[in-house]
Structures are given as C-alpha cells and as structure tokens.
C-alpha cells in the first residue's frame, strides 16, 4: 500500500533536510515556505494551499497575498491576511505574515483550495487604499481590473469614492494613475 503525500509539503510531512535534498535533486520546487512536486502545477490552487498552511482556518488572504494567489504578483516578503472582526483569532506573532481585523462580507471572498481569498475587485480596492505598500500597486490594479470584467473600473470607483472609505483620495489617485478614473 502506498500513501500519497499532499500537494504542498511542509516539515510536518517530511524532515526539512529531506525536502531540501529533494529540491536540490530536482524532484521538488519551493513554493513560499513549502515545497511541491515538480509535476504539480504552480497555480492558484497550490499557492492557496501553501498560504493556508500559514494561518488559522478563519483567515482570509488579501492584498499582495491574494494577488500572488491569482498569479499577478511575486510572492510577498510578508503575507497579508485578514479576519472578520467577529472571528476571534489569536495567531502567534510572525515576521512572515500580517494579520488584520476588517469587515469582510462573504460576497467579497471566494474559496480556493479551502482558503478564503478576497475577490479581485476587493483585492484591488484594498491595494488602492493601502497607505504604504511595499511595491508599486498601480500595475497590480491594472491586472486585477482585467480579472473584474467590463464593469470592474466602474465598480472600483464606486467602492473607493464613498465618503467613509479610509484613504479615499489615495485610492482615487491610484485608480487615475492606472487610467481608470
């Protein structure tokens, strides 16, 4: 009887030395803090599985992590997650991830490989409103708008132009810089 390993492997599945050796031998590739078999596609499913191993089940991938899962950005230095304000999650402090509490209705998320991820429209609005990003978010906003369909620019403007939206002017300026104002 053979046992099948998961698609995304960690030090809980096999010793890290064995995983590192298999990567050097060309049998595995690194995916964030984890490893995948070389015949496993590097796409949204495997990225979501890898991201899910970092956080509690109630966490939602957002901002740069969501863009990475969608294949629009390189893996972020620090992964971004959020939880709904009523989730009561107490993760261990980590230099590898940022976790914040937000209001995130279910309509703003999609589940990929068991991990909730903000939809492209919510992701682009969060990136546009982010006061001090680590990267230039304007190209990501363009890429996310292409995933939102023909109504994407209009919906993004509606969401960013509400009076109570924090960093509203910054978001509108970034949308204008991407040519969608």
Read off the pLDDT of residues 141-175 as tens digits, 9 standing for 90 and up. Answer: 999 988 888 888 888 888 887 777 888 888 888 88
Please enumerate in sequence order all residues whose Cβ is within 8 A of that of 12, keeping only pairs 6 or more positions apart, or say none.
none
Read off the pLDDT of residues 3-18 as tens digits, 9 standing for 90 and up. Answer: 677 889 988 888 999 9
Q: Are 61 and 19 in contact (CB under 8 A)?
A: no
Name the pTM for this structure: 0.89
Query: ∠ CA(18), CA(34), CA(31), 5° rounding?
Result: 120
The domain spans of the chain are 42-177
In the structure, what pLDDT confidence band is assigned to residue 176 with cuts at 50, 70 and 90? confident
């Amino acid at each position: 009887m053979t046992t099948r390993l998961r698609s995304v492997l960690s030090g809980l599945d096999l010793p890290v030395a064995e995983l590192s050796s298999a990567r050097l031998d060309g049998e595995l590739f690194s995916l964030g803090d984890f490893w995948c078999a070389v015949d496993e596609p590097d796409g949204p499913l495997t990225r979501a599985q890898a991201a899910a191993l970092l956080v509690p089940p109630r966490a939602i991938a957002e901002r740069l992590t969501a863009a990475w899962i969608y294949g629009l950005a390189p893996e972020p230095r620090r992964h971004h997650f959020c939880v709904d304000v009523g989730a009561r999650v107490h993760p261990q402090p980590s230099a590898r991830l940022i976790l914040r509490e937000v209001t995130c209705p279910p309509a703003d998320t999609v589940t990929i490989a068991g991990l909730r991820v903000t939809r492209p429209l919510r992701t682009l609005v969060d990136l546009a409103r982010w006061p001090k990003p680590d990267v230039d978010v304007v190209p990501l906003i363009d890429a996310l708008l292409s995933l939102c369909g023909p109504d994407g620019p209009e919906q993004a403007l509606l969401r960013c132009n509400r009076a109570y939206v924090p960093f509203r002017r910054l978001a509108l300026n970034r949308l204008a810089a991407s040519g969608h104002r």
